[in-house]
Amino acid sequence: DIQMTQSPSFLSASVGDRVTINCKASQNINKYLNWYQQKLGEAPKRLIYNTNNLQTGIPSRFSGSGSGTDYTLTISSLQPEDFATYFCLQHNSFPLTFGSGTKLEIK
């Protein structure tokens, strides 16, 4: 199985801050990496697919980058509605595996 190591687990930031969340795969996943946002009591919502493709309707302050084993989600200017938990998912090979999550909290 491909292990997805996500960091940090917790992140405290203020409105307007730029933040980055990282996922490192245990092997090359060929950019087959998605990012999801999950708010308490809700299903995950896809933000980014295949490393850097923005889901329709998602604000452009969200962006993704990376290649090989290292991937990053960047939020350029945090808004109040962005405080949530974020997960990465690799869909390069079975079984599909998720990162452990990053909880983004208001400072």
Least CB distance to other proteins at residue 42 (A): 7
Query: CA-CA distances (angstroms) from residue 59 to 46, 48, 76?
Result: 12, 11, 10
16 makes contact with other proteins (CB under 8 A): no
CB atoms within 10 A of CB 59: 13
Tell me: does residue 24 bind other proteins (CB under 8 A).
Answer: no
Q: How far apart are CA 99 and CA 25, in angstroms?
A: 9
Least distance (Å) between residue 7 CB and other proteins: 13
Options 12-20, 42-50, 58-66, 73-81: segment touching other proteins (CB under 8 A): 42-50
- 83 part of the interface to other proteins, by CB under 8 A: no
Q: Is 96 in the site for other proteins (CB under 8 A)?
A: yes
Q: Rounded to whole angstroms, how far apart are CA atoms 92 and 32?
A: 5
Identify the residue among 52, 54, 93, 98 touching other proteins (CB under 8 A). Answer: 98
- 36: part of which helix (H) or strand (E)? strand 33-38
